[in-house]
């Protein structure tokens, strides 16, 4: 099958020019370049995807260096892996040396040697990701599809290329579920059986790699579908027996997605994911996934605040009481609790903190207090807090009110 016409229509003009230029330069050295993986799949599906992966049967780093010399691209090369990234103003292109992979044992990183396009396709996760489009002049646009990926796309099926696929690399279990939910596909029957059989192989995968796949899932448009499915399949249970992947988490993810900007969403999803964990479980989870320090703090804060929520479930709390209870927690942990708590009153209180109280500032600061004759030290700290509380509670409004309060406080003898 030839996809020359579809390729020309699918890729933006500028990107098409770049790709053709790279292919031309490779041809000068007798090498062929192919479009591979996600872009071929998405081109056939008609979904936009301009994250291009190119494979060359030959040294990709050398080719990328040549391309970078004759264009505006900046080059990031990984000599060890034979891969290079070319960064242009509006695009990045990944260029890889066609390679052969062998797994010494399940879950190990594969041993990599240069290979043919065929070798490079059989090392891939699913048939729908194991297709290539030739960019060579003599067969430009030709689809190379040794595992009937196009047929699987038509039948909406996710299929591994061989029975050891999930045990070689159990991250493919997470990746497969991600594609299943993103595209509304199904696992082909044998693949579904292998997936269930190999769930215990997740134990062979490093924490960093599992976390990386979860981060990938959290960048999906509908991560809640993926998490729910991972729950049903027992994948979450394998990562930590107390993780929930039920309707509750779907609802909470959905709310999170409507509330937060994309940059903070993945961390918020992590906090919601662990909301049902006990202290012991969270320790296991943080260690198992090698969660970085900052996120780890936010997740622990989320659970610490969850344990303190009863203090907030009272009528007539003063704004200052709310503020001083919550200020020690990471805002994202407060946000996670606002979404996750079963109490509408607590949720409202947490939202008020996030949207209003957190931003309340007094007009006078330490410098100005000094001008009023108060020397820096614990007493000034106390006065600033009293002033801040009064401001939060609406007891002072103007600068003059604040000044008056400060003066009355500084005249009061210290206890």
The footprint of ligand ATP (CB under 6 A) covers 37-38, 51, 53, 124-125, 129, 169, 171-172
Three-class SS of 139-177: HCCEEECCCCHHHHHHCCEECECCCCHHHHCCHHHHHHH
| Nearest residue to 391 (alpha-carbon basis) of 361, 411, 369, 368 | 361
Q: How far is CA 399 from CA 50, 357, 365, 370, 392, in A?
A: 55, 18, 11, 15, 14
Q: Which of the choices Mg ion, ligand ATP, none does residue 146 contact, using the CB cut-off of 5 to 8 A by kind?
A: none
Nearer residue to ligand ATP within complex by CB, 55 or 282: 55
Q: CB–CB of 370/385 below 8 Å?
A: no
| Nearest residue to 311 (alpha-carbon basis) of 288, 345, 285 | 345
CB of 121 to Mg ion, least distance (A): 16
- CA separation for the pair 4, 11 (Å, rounded): 11
Applying CB under 5 A, what is the total number of residues that bind Mg ion?
Answer: 2
* DSSP 8-state assignment for residue 109: P
Q: CB–CB of 54/35 below 8 Å?
A: yes
Instruction: Report the residue closest to ligand ATP, judged by CB.
Output: 38
Nearer residue to ligand ATP within complex by CB, 125 or 330: 125
The helix (H) or strand (E) run that includes residue 15 is helix 13-28
- Does residue 85 interact with Mg ion by CB under 5 A? no
| Nearest residue to 367 (alpha-carbon basis) of 401, 406, 398 | 406
Nearer residue to ligand ATP within complex by CB, 38 or 114: 38
- Does residue 215 interact with Mg ion by CB under 5 A? no
Nearer residue to ligand ATP within complex by CB, 51 or 154: 51
CB of 161 to ligand ATP, least distance (A): 9
CB of 39 to Mg ion, least distance (A): 8
Q: Which of the choices Mg ion, ligand ATP, none does residue 172 contact, using the CB cut-off of 5 to 8 A by kind?
A: ligand ATP
Nearer residue to Mg ion within complex by CB, 201 or 226: 226
Nearer residue to ligand ATP within complex by CB, 52 or 339: 52
Max intra-chain CA distance, the chain: 93
CB of 37 to Mg ion, least distance (A): 7
Q: CA 11, 92, 148: angle at the middle one, nearest 5? A: 55
- Does residue 51 interact with Mg ion by CB under 5 A? yes
Tokens of 156: 């909406």
- CA separation for the pair 372, 385 (Å, rounded): 16
The helix (H) or strand (E) run that includes residue 357 is none
Nearer residue to ligand ATP within complex by CB, 171 or 320: 171
Instruction: Report the residue closest to Mg ion, judged by CB.
Output: 38
CB of 231 to ligand ATP, least distance (A): 21
Q: Which of the choices Mg ion, ligand ATP, none does residue 238 contact, using the CB cut-off of 5 to 8 A by kind?
A: none
CB of 120 to ligand ATP, least distance (A): 9
The only residue of 4, 15, 27, 38 in contact with Mg ion, by rule CB under 5 A = 38
Q: Between 331-340 and 265-273, two packed helices, what is the crossing angle to 10 degrees? A: 60
CB atoms within 10 A of CB 386: 16
Strands 157-158 and 186-187: parallel
CB of 247 to ligand ATP, least distance (A): 25
Q: Which of the choices Mg ion, ligand ATP, none does residue 319 contact, using the CB cut-off of 5 to 8 A by kind?
A: none
The stretch among 43-51, 110-118, 205-213, 296-304 that binds Mg ion (CB under 5 A) is 43-51
**CB-based contacts of 165: which residues, under 8 Å, 6+ apart?**
125, 172, 194
Tokens 């807090």 -> residue: 385
Nearer residue to ligand ATP within complex by CB, 149 or 245: 149
CB of 172 to ligand ATP, least distance (A): 5
* DSSP 8-state assignment for residue 363: S
Q: Which of the choices Mg ion, ligand ATP, none does residue 125 contact, using the CB cut-off of 5 to 8 A by kind?
A: ligand ATP
Nearer residue to ligand ATP within complex by CB, 219 or 246: 219
For residues 223 to 252, the per-residue mask of contacts with Mg ion, x marking binding by CB under 5 A and - elsewhere, is: ------------------------------
Nearer residue to Mg ion within complex by CB, 38 or 331: 38
Tokens of 275: 């909301």
- CA separation for the pair 162, 139 (Å, rounded): 29
* DSSP 8-state assignment for residue 97: E
CB of 284 to ligand ATP, least distance (A): 24
Q: Which of the choices ligand ATP, Mg ion, none does residue 129 contact, using the CB cut-off of 5 to 8 A by kind?
A: ligand ATP
Interface residues toward Mg ion, by CB under 5 A: 38, 51
């Amino acid at each position: 099958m030839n996809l020359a016409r579809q390729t020309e229509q699918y890729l933006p003009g500028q990107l098409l020019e770049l790709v053709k230029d790279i292919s031309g330069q490779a041809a000068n050295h007798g090498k062929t370049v192919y479009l591979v993986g996600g872009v071929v799949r998405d081109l056939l599906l008609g979904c936009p995807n301009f994250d291009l992966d190119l494979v060359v049967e030959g040294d990709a780093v050398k080719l990328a260096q040549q391309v970078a010399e004759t264009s505006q691209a900046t080059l990031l090369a990984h000599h060890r892996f034979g891969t290079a990234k070319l960064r242009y103003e509006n695009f990045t292109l990944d260029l890889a040396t066609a390679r052969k992979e062998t797994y010494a044992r399940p879950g190990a990183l594969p041993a990599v040697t240069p290979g043919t396009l065929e070798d490079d396709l059989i090392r891939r996760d699913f048939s729908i990701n194991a297709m290539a489009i030739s960019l060579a002049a003599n067969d430009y646009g030709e689809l190379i599809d040794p595992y009937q990926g196009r047929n699987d796309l038509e039948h909406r099926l996710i299929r591994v290329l061989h029975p050891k696929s999930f045990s070689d690399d159990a991250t493919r279990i997470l990746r497969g579920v991600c594609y299943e939910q993103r595209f509304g596909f199904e696992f082909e029957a044998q693949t579904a059986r292998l997936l269930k059989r190999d769930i215990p192989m997740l134990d062979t995968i490093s924490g960093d790699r599992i976390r990386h796949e979860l981060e990938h899932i959290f960048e999906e448009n509908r991560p809640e579908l993926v998490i729910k499915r991972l729950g049903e399949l027992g994948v979450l249970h394998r990562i930590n027996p107390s993780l929930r992947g039920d309707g509750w988490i779907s609802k909470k993810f959905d709310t999170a997605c409507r509330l937060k900007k994309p940059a903070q969403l993945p961390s918020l999803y992590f906090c919601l994911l662990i909301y049902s964990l006990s202290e012991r479980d969270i320790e296991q989870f943080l260690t198992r996934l090698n969660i970085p320090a900052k996120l780890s703090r936010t997740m622990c804060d989320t659970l610490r605040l969850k344990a303190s929520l009863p203090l907030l479930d009272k009528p007539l709390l003063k704004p200052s009481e709310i503020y001083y209870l919550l200020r020690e927690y990471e805002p994202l942990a407060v946000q996670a609790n606002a979404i996750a708590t079963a109490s509408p009153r607590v949720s409202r209180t947490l939202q008020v903190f996030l949207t209003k109280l957190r931003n309340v500032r007094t007009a006078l600061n330490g410098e100005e207090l000094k001008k009023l004759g108060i020397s820096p030290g614990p007493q000034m700290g106390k006065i600033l807090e009293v002033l801040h509380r009064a401001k939060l509670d609406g007891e002072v409004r103007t600068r003059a009110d604040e000044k008056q309060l400060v003066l009355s406080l500084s005249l009061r003898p210290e206890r």
